[in-house]
Structure 1
Amino acid sequence: MEAKIEMEQNIAKIMDHNEFCSFATVEGNRPKQRYMALYNQGLSIHMVTDRKTHKVEELEENPHVSLLLGYEKGGTKDVVEIEGVCSISDNDELRKQIWKPEFEMTFSGPEDPDYVILKIKPVRIEYTSDNGEKHEWIE
């Protein structure tokens, strides 16, 4: 159990140092990827999107997602692959907690009905540390 907690802490530290990730959904039977800003508290993973985007429709049809982060300029040299299940939240408290002034370019404020949070619940995480050592976390 202690090893799993330590691994979760290591994964969270890596996510803390990577602002962006590649976020993949499934459209029909094909993967669809895009870069998105990553917000996390430990292994609680969130992303911000507009309710009117196509990805919301994709997630309503198939909530299984994949994230890839790390090994990019400004990030860490660790690579993290996350498989998870995504839900769409319009929880007011969470929206206020994650709100950033730069969101004002897209949304009128944290109460904007189109401002939603994607909540990713990890089910499997694989990460490769900068020394090449592979680790696997499973829910």
Structure 2
Amino acid sequence: MSQTNLTDKIKKVLDANQVCSLATIEGTKPHVRYMALFHDGINILLVTSKKTHKVEELIENPHVHIITGFNGDWESETLQVEGTASVSSDGGLRKKLWKDTFKIWFEGPEDPNYVVLVIKPQRILYSDGKSMKSEIWES
């Protein structure tokens, strides 16, 4: 399969899922939590407060692992993403991703604590859920 076709499959899974699990490293141990999932192409975008432990963890170690796609059906298309994260305070990006449901955490898209984690994939494992074979995308 061509890299373009695989990229299209990856984007389809990202489009179909609103939640992912994000793993960071806290000290020497993994720390996993659920996050609202956004994306720009295959770059994954996650919103958070800059006052969270995950931001502190990413400053220490920017390597992350994300899993998304499983919906309870063993034939779900899934992704496992290895990548590096950076913390963005870009006003345009924050406005683009803003949802009114975020008001329980933030005053608005200009809130200085509202930041976006930008995950640049280095390796993505795609599984169609129908076979034991996975496809690998690498940057």
TM-score range, shorter chain: over 0.9
Residue identity over aligned pairs, in percent, reads 44
Pairwise CA RMSD: 1.5
Please name the residue that 2:138 is paired with: 138
Please name the residue that 1:112 is paired with: 111
TM-score by length of 1: 0.94
Task: Tell me the matched-pair count.
Answer: 137
Deviating above 3 A after TM superposition, structure 1's stretches of 4 or more consecutive aligned residues are: none
After superposition, the C-alpha distances for 1:66-122 in whole angstroms (9 at most, x for unaligned) are: 001111259x81111000000000000100011111111110000000000000000
Output the amino acid matched with 1:138. E
Equivalences for residues 10-89 of structure 1 within 5 A: 10-73=9-72, 77-89=76-88
After superposition, the C-alpha distances for 1:34-93 in whole angstroms (9 at most, x for unaligned) are: 01110012202100001111110000000000001111259x811110000000000001
TM-score by length of 2: 0.94
- Is there any run of 5+ residues in structure 1 with no aligned partner, and where? none
After superposition, the C-alpha distances for 1:2-43 in whole angstroms (9 at most, x for unaligned) are: 811111111010011011111000011111100111001220
Greater CA drift, 127-136 or 85-94: 127-136
What secondary structure is seen at the aligned counterpart in 2 of 1:95?
helix
CA contact (8 A) 1:9 1:42 kept: no
CA contact (8 A) 1:68 1:81 kept: yes
What secondary structure is seen at the aligned counterpart in 2 of 1:56?
helix
CA contact (8 A) 1:25 1:59 kept: yes
What secondary structure is seen at the aligned counterpart in 1 of 2:13?
helix
